[in-house]
Amino acid sequence: MQSEIHSFILWEKARSQLKKTIKDLEAKFEILEILEIFWPKNKFAQNLKRFYGTTLTDPQKKEAVCGNGSFLLIIVSDKNPIHGKRKTSIGSQIVNTNIYDQKMQIRRILGSEYIIHSSIHQKEANHDFTLLLGKNIEQLKK
């Protein structure tokens, strides 16, 4: 099976748990890169709306929960992806269960489902990287 590249985003308010989160991610995936992303504070809610699309009904609430300071994009490689169904915020989907389950575990540890994001399948990973970095997965692999 071919490895997959995925995104994990630690929004500003999750950064206090950076060391633990990195340790947890390193135990299951290869961390390829960690990038700090800055969005202007006065455009943060607008950028969240663009990032999440129609699934985000209240960008100001999301901003209040996750913070509007710099955030970290952690790019990981899952060398042994497993795909299966999981119940997501938009219904049952086929996802990379390794990534999805890790995201949910980190959310439980951090005590909030809104202060960490991850891609859950390659379509979402491609979306995340294109919006945040201007590169799709194939360009990142090179």
pLDDT tens digits, 96-117: 999 999 999 999 988 887 889 9
Tell me the pLDDT band of 128, cut-offs 50, 70 and 90.
very high
**pTM across the whole model:** 0.94
Q: Which two tokens stand for residue 131?
A: 């919006």
Average pLDDT over residues 42-69: 93
Rounded CA-CA distance 45/50 in Å is 9
pLDDT of residue 1: 63
At 114 the three-state DSSP class reads coil
Q: Which pLDDT tens digit goes with each residue over 17-43? A: 899 999 999 999 999 999 999 999 999
